[in-house]
Amino acid sequence: MEQTLPLLEMTLGQMLDATVARYPDHDAIVYVDRNFRLTYRQFQQAVDDLAKGLMALGVQKGEKVAIWATNIPNWVMLQFATAKIGAILLTVNINYKSAEIEYLLGQSETENLFLIDGYQDTDYITTIYDLVPELKTMERGRLASSRFPHLKRVCFLGLEKHRGMYSMPEINALSVMVNDEEYQARQAALSPYDVVNMQYTSGTTGFPKGVMLTHHNIGNNGYFVGANQLFTEKDRVCVPVPLFHCFGCVMGVIGSVSHGSCLVILEGFDPVMVMTSIEKERCTALYGVPTMFIAILDHPLFAKFDFSSLRTGIMAGSNCPIKVMEQVIAKMHMTDVTICYGLTEASPVMTYTRIGDDIRLRVETVGRALPHLEVKIIDPKTGETLPPGTQGEVCCRGYSVMTGYYNNEEATRKALTDDGWLRSGDLGILDEAGNLRITGRYKDMIIRGGENIYPREIEEFLYNMDGIKDVQVAAVPSPKYGEEVGAFVIRRDNANIEASDVIDFCRGKIARFKVPKYVHFVDGYPMTASGKIQKYKLTEMSEQIWPERI
């Protein structure tokens, strides 16, 4: 079936309008925690009002509109409102602090910033006033920031008024200043190949880079993600993952909207609210990283909730232990749960397991290339294409590959080959059937005395040990061997295993040079906001944990 589906040639605005025409009275967006519910027709009206308000403010085609906010309803409205007027939505990590938002606003040359009051211990309002003191003294719409010369407007995603900022009611009220003819003319001037979204890479290494993605990139990727789960207008998709990452705004939002499915969104991940949302809204799909599924399965109230409506969903971000997969299928009724792999630069999904794949494929591989995409393995040093069964760097080519990194030609040249292949930086193996197995990051590979060690292999082995809930393996610097193997273990509740038990479990079962030299027990891992483990931080941590390394 999948081979017969053609690529979509439309903007995100046209996609929304097409869905509204088919299913105007179906639920589009639901938030269980605040009794918020919009049909597709109501959602379209909210998007159009906001889009016209942005035009009245003076937002031009090609301007960046940064959104620094949790998964609030205005987030999704702004995603489509910016798309309809040709602006570029720049998604901001909610965990950013002052130095990071300063870097992003400067590097991206952002003209517009939308923000909420704050998240956890970071006050966004105070942060922006510190970075842009001119907001307190200059007339709105005439901002001239010494630090950010491109910044024109700051808007607050709420009802309250803040000096120098526009509020949402004010922006929506301005919509009457733009007539339908002007609005339609703006939309008619857009192309599916215009950049519509910029995301800054998670930063597992180095400074984040602004990935430029088009309507064609993310519209099609979201569409095929939904198609792969057999989404229809009857599906209800629970999305507790961050919208500022592709998992939320592409795989979640576009994957649902393109098929007329309902989005059941959570402002942040909370196991009880996820379970409540699934039961109350009879969700058919659930998205999350493996740690989220583990938190739900292990929750004391798990048995009190009804998961019988679930059938599919996505587990992504890091490898899934087979025991977790078995529990998700058996206890959460997610018989058709899928696994996918990709990166922001690929909009994001490259490969995907298919409904009907056996559990081995869903645990040991990340599936096969999506329709209209090519995946190959190359030698990271020579660029030579490698045969099936050979480990090398994963590369992708097709409609989903980014146009490049914003204002960073050098990084773009390193990531994209002359003939259109995107280099992922990940190591993997393709089998004869085209199924991809990810074996680790090229940069995460441990080199111990000349031996190449792949952390994923050791992690998969250690998942079989009783008492281990989760484990990550990372390099520990060693004067003697260059690097040693370090295992960072999360114990199961009431497990009393020690470091020596972990080492003993490995001895005689895996090669001696792969046995962890160091074992440390932790409560959690340093992660990017999209759920990827930052292994370089584990390596940095090891230097404090084991200063006596020899």
Whether the predicted pLDDT of 49 surpasses 90: yes
pLDDT of 453 reads 80
**DSSP category for residue 443:** G
Q: Averaging pLDDT over each range in 28-32, 90-94, 423-427, 481-485, which range is the top one?
A: 28-32
pLDDT of 543 reads 82
382-406: pLDDT as tens digits:
999 999 999 999 999 999 999 999 9
**DSSP category for residue 385:** B
Strands 210-214 and 195-200, how do they pair? antiparallel
Nearest of 395, 390, 458 to residue 429 by alpha carbon? 390
pLDDT of 363 reads 87
285-302: pLDDT as tens digits:
999 988 899 899 999 999
Alpha helical stretches, state H, 270-371: 271-281, 290-297, 322-332, 359-364
498-537: pLDDT as tens digits:
999 999 999 888 878 889 999 999 999 998 766 778 888 8
Supply the pTM of this predicted model.
Answer: 0.86
Whether the predicted pLDDT of 549 surpasses 60: no
pLDDT of 208 reads 82
CA distance 24 to 39: 7
For residue 21, give Cα distances in angstroms to 6, 26, 84, 256.
20, 11, 16, 15
**CB of 436 closer than 8 Å to CB of 389:** no
**DSSP category for residue 324:** H
The token pair that represents 185 in the structure block: 């003319």
Give the mean model confidence (pLDDT) for residues 40-68.
Answer: 98
**DSSP category for residue 5:** P
User: Look-up: residue for tokens 């794949």?
Assistant: 357
300-327: pLDDT as tens digits:
999 999 999 999 999 987 777 788 899 9
pLDDT of 134 reads 97
The token pair that represents 209 in the structure block: 């880079």
Give the mean model confidence (pLDDT) for residues 87-96.
Answer: 93
Give the mean model confidence (pLDDT) for residues 63-78.
Answer: 98
The token pair that represents 125 in the structure block: 């309002």
CA distance 222 to 258: 7
By the 10 Å C-beta count (0-12 exposed, 13-18 middle, 19+ buried), 463 is classed as middle
**CB of 378 closer than 8 Å to CB of 277:** no
For residue 235, give Cα distances in angstroms to 65, 79, 262, 371.
31, 21, 6, 22
Q: What is the mean pLDDT of the chain?
A: 93
The token pair that represents 501 in the structure block: 């038990």
Q: Return the minimum-mean-pLDDT range out of 132-136, 207-211, 245-249, 399-403.
A: 207-211
Dihedral pair phi/psi, residue 70, rounded to 5°: -70, -175
3-class DSSP state for residue 506?
A: helix
**CB of 315 closer than 8 Å to CB of 294:** no
Report, in angstroms and rounded to the nearest whole number, the Rg of the chain calculated over CA atoms: 24
Which residue has better confidence, 225 or 320? 225
Chain centroid, CA 431 distance in Å: 26
CA distance 113 to 155: 6
The percentage of residues in the chain with a pLDDT greater than 90, rounded to a whole number, is 79
**CB of 44 closer than 8 Å to CB of 20:** yes
Give the mean model confidence (pLDDT) for residues 163-191.
Answer: 97
Query: What contacts 34, CB < 8 A, 6 or more positions away?
Result: none
pLDDT band for position 550 (50/70/90)?
A: very low
- Amino acid identity for residue 455 in this structure: P
**DSSP category for residue 117:** S
Alpha helical stretches, state H, 162-244: 168-173, 180-188, 215-228
Class of the 451-545 domain?
alpha beta
Dihedral pair phi/psi, residue 499, rounded to 5°: -60, -40
**CB of 438 closer than 8 Å to CB of 467:** no
Kindly list the domain boundaries of the chain, sorted by start residue.
Answer: 7-200, 451-545
CATH topology of domain 7-200: Rossmann fold (3.40.50)
pLDDT of 530 reads 63
